[in-house]
Structure 1
Amino acid sequence: MSVSRRDFLAGGAGLTATTALGLAGGVAHAEIALGAIKLDVVSDGSLSLPADFIFGPMPKDELAPIIKEYGLAPDILTPPCNVTLMRHGERTILFDVGSGPDFAPNSGTLLSSLEALGVAPEDVTDIVFTHAHPDHLWGLLDDFDDPLFTEASYMMGQAEWDYWMDPNTVHTIQSERTAFAVGAQRRLEMIQDQMSFFKDGQEILPGVAARASTGHTPGHMCFEIRDGSESVMVLGDCIGNHHVAFEQPAWISGSDQDGDTAAKTRVALLDQLASEKTRIIGYHLEGDGTGYVDKTATGYKFVAES
């Protein structure tokens, strides 16, 4: 019996490689039921980032007590990567696809996480992108550089697509992110015939509405998933961590491409989420990324569910 390259990757070999790296124990799994909608949060592993990638522009004296309070390492941050899987009727939907094999050594575990739920790549019917940074997009391809989700249709905000597919972006993006632009263009070109676009406020799928949350990237979107009176907001990276983004949301973060716009987005969204007591799923929030936003006297707090 012949075994295709994709079957090999999606099966036991992929799981064995993950276990060998010591990552299998880090597979996050949270379940959320919204009427007929089922959400699972699964792990794509974690990143290892220089702390200055986020903290660089921030006032060091005021930052120090936050680092101490949250027990953060002063030089390296290791945020988790939490991917949202939605199942509704005959649809199996992924919000972002993780890093794949080419971005970071401790990421790229999405396939084994999905396999634990009995979901194979060919079962995915729709993929919705929050934005096109590597840890959200590069999992589009397998180890052999072929599209992995062979039966899926793709959706992205029109402004996000236009930015990354603009040939000038490679030359105008911050120099340390040039590889982001090159990698995004190469991958998006491979799926452009299966791609559809949306704008702020559109219901892109039954029960899923797009919400502009720009700044981290020029066309970043988050998504409100609703059934009746219950809702969950899939944040992507517009609220990018569980510590300083909540404690001091108005501070400029080095992780954002447009720091001023991202800070305004963060402040407004946190205020809304706290006042409405909306459940959230954050791509890089601690644990499995699920929880709520609490308003405090000086800022906000992430209240994790697990």
Structure 2
Amino acid sequence: MTVTRRRFLATAAAGIALPGRLWSGSRIESGSLRLDTLSDGHLVLPADFLFGGMPKDELAPILARHGIAGGSVEPPCNVTLLRDGTNTVLFDVGAGADFMPTAGRLSEALAALDVTPDEVTDVLFTHGHPDHLWGLLDEFDEPLFAGARHVMGRVEFDYWMDPETASSIGEARATFAAGARRRLEIIADSIGLVEDGDEVLPGVVARLTPGHTPGHLAFRIEADEPMLIAGDAVTNAHVGFERPEWLSPSDQDAALAATTRAALLAEAAEEGLLLVGFHLPDGGIGRVGRAAAGFRFLLA
């Protein structure tokens, strides 16, 4: 197995006089499998969205060690592309054009690898938050990956399709609910719904990892070295690793998310899994090491 990190220039579309954009990502090659993480851009979030309510005296040195200062954070967004010679699989579809101006760059990243939307055979969703789901549709409100099979956990799908979610999720996330339902309604008749433990594709197994959202899924990939597509079960490489038991406002059920996160990191450390995280740094691919208290993220 080899892991490489690269930076490459994506040229502007033909006929448009714009400079190219510099992209970065990581690649794992394991036997016939090739896994790429693609930059969808990044988010800009208030620091309190991640750290609100955490003990400030203990939080401050963790943030300082990771160079985090000020009132905002800018987590990267890593969409995962898996190719095995037969299937071309996306895990999540990024934010699209309607969420944040700093995100929604997946189409450009795919183009830099010479992959077209028509080549994608499967789209597997970890959950229904905007930065993972809102890239589902093109500018005409048609599915961008029209020929692909779309798959989501049944618990997650039912949650976002429930009309009561918009009124119960809280004012700050009400637009999340409306946006998710609008998009999922368009593919509701064709989406595949899976349960915990289902083999979604050969060697790709869905894992229920709830808390960040009610039906959040991770996906375990059996390869020469097993990999875990963690989605937002672990949302950062600093506090989430060093103090996974701390509650974060970014999670919809913070207590359940903390339990899930701690168990997932312990499993990854014990088994030596390669962890692929949507918001983890440097392409999001690494391993989990144990620390004196908690864990640490180790680049692969």
Does TM-score exceed 0.5, indicating one fold?
Answer: yes
Q: Which runs of 5+ in 2 are unaligned?
A: 1-10
Match status 1:149 vs 2:149: no
CA distance in 1, matches of 2:163, 2:16: 39
CA distance in 2, matches of 1:261, 1:270: 14
Per the alignment, residue 51 of structure 1 pairs with 47
CA distance in 2, matches of 1:14, 1:99: 24
Q: CA deviation at 1:16?
A: 5.8
For residue 53 of structure 2, give the secondary structure of its aligned residue in structure 1: coil
Deviating more after overlay: 85-94 vs 182-191: 85-94
Per the alignment, residue 267 of structure 1 pairs with 262
From the superposition, tell whether residues 14 and 96 of structure 1 become closer, same or farther in structure 2 (CA, over 3 Å): farther
CA distance in 2, matches of 1:14, 1:162: 41
CA distance in 1, matches of 2:15, 2:153: 33
CA distance in 2, matches of 1:91, 1:164: 28
| Letter of the structure 1 residue corresponding to residue 211 of structure 2 | G
CA distance in 1, matches of 2:172, 2:121: 34
Runs of 4+ in structure 1 over 2 Å off: 11-17, 143-146
CA distance in 2, matches of 1:52, 1:13: 38
Q: CA deviation at 1:173?
A: 0.5
Instruction: Name which of 72, 81, 93 aligns with 2:68.
Output: 72
CA distance in 2, matches of 1:268, 1:75: 30
Alpha-carbon contact 2:287-2:298 (below 8 Å) kept = yes
**TM-score scaled by structure 2?**
0.93
CA distance in 2, matches of 1:246, 1:12: 38
Instruction: Name which of 93, 97, 112 aligns with 1:97.
Output: 93
Alpha-carbon contact 2:25-2:282 (below 8 Å) kept = no
Alpha-carbon contact 1:66-1:243 (below 8 Å) kept = yes
From the superposition, tell whether residues 33 and 165 of structure 1 become closer, same or farther in structure 2 (CA, over 3 Å): same
Q: CA deviation at 1:193?
A: 2.0
For residue 58 of structure 2, give the secondary structure of its aligned residue in structure 1: helix
CA distance in 1, matches of 2:253, 2:15: 38
Instruction: Name which of 172, 183, 187 aligns with 2:179.
Output: 183
The sequence identity of aligned pairs, in percent, is: 51
Q: Pairwise CA RMSD of aligned residues?
A: 1.7
Per the alignment, residue 5 of structure 1 pairs with none
Q: CA deviation at 1:209?
A: 0.5
Count residues with an aligned counterpart. Answer: 290
Per the alignment, residue 7 of structure 1 pairs with none
From the superposition, tell whether residues 179 and 14 of structure 1 become closer, same or farther in structure 2 (CA, over 3 Å): farther
Q: CA deviation at 1:124?
A: 0.6
Per the alignment, residue 3 of structure 1 pairs with none
Q: CA deviation at 1:34?
A: 2.5
Residues 11-26 of structure 1 mapped to structure 2, 5 A cutoff: 12-13=12-13, 24-25=21-22
Q: Deviations over 1:192-225 (max 9, x none)?
A: 1220111111111011001111000000000011
Instruction: Name which of 231, 240, 248 aligns with 2:235.
Output: 240
Alpha-carbon contact 2:88-2:122 (below 8 Å) kept = yes
Residues 1-306 of structure 1 mapped to structure 2, 5 A cutoff: 12-13=12-13, 24-25=21-22, 27-227=23-223, 229-305=224-300
| Letter of the structure 2 residue corresponding to residue 296 of structure 1 | A
Q: CA deviation at 1:89?
A: 2.9
Q: CA deviation at 1:46?
A: 0.5
Per the alignment, residue 4 of structure 1 pairs with none
Q: Deviations over 1:165-203 (max 9, x none)?
A: 011101110110000000000000011122011111111
| Letter of the structure 2 residue corresponding to residue 188 of structure 1 | L
CA distance in 2, matches of 1:35, 1:159: 33
Q: CA deviation at 1:145?
A: 2.3
CA distance in 2, matches of 1:283, 1:16: 30
Q: CA deviation at 1:143?
A: 2.4
From the superposition, tell whether residues 225 and 15 of structure 1 become closer, same or farther in structure 2 (CA, over 3 Å): farther
Q: Deviations over 1:11-43 (max 9, x none)?
A: 9549969x66x8x22x22211123222111111
For residue 286 of structure 2, give the secondary structure of its aligned residue in structure 1: strand
Q: Which one has a larger percent helix, Structure 1 or Structure 2? A: 1
| Letter of the structure 1 residue corresponding to residue 124 of structure 2 | V
For residue 193 of structure 1, give the secondary structure of its aligned residue in structure 2: coil
From the superposition, tell whether residues 92 and 200 of structure 1 become closer, same or farther in structure 2 (CA, over 3 Å): same
